[in-house]
Amino acid sequence: MKQFATLIVALATFTGANICEAADPTPPASTKTAIFAGGCFWCMQPPYDQAKGVVKTVVGYTGGSEADANYEKVSGHRTKHREAIQVTYDPAQISYGQLLEIFWRQINPTQADGQFHDIGLSYQAAIFYSNEEEKKTAEASREKLGESGKFQQPIVTEILPVINFYPAEEYHQKYYLKNPGDFEAYHVGSGRVSFLEKIWGGSSRK
At 9, give phi and psi (nearest 5°): -60, -40
Residue of 123, 144, 137 lying closest to 190 (CA atoms): 123
Helix ranges (H only) for 147-191 are 175-178, 180-189
Neighbouring-strand partners of residue 85:
36, 59
Tell me if residue 20 is catalytic.
no
The one catalytic residue in 37, 40, 138, 196 is 40
In b/e form, how buried is each residue of 91-116, taking b as 16+ CB within 10 angstroms?
eeebebebbbebbbbbbbbebeebbb
Catalytic residue set: 40
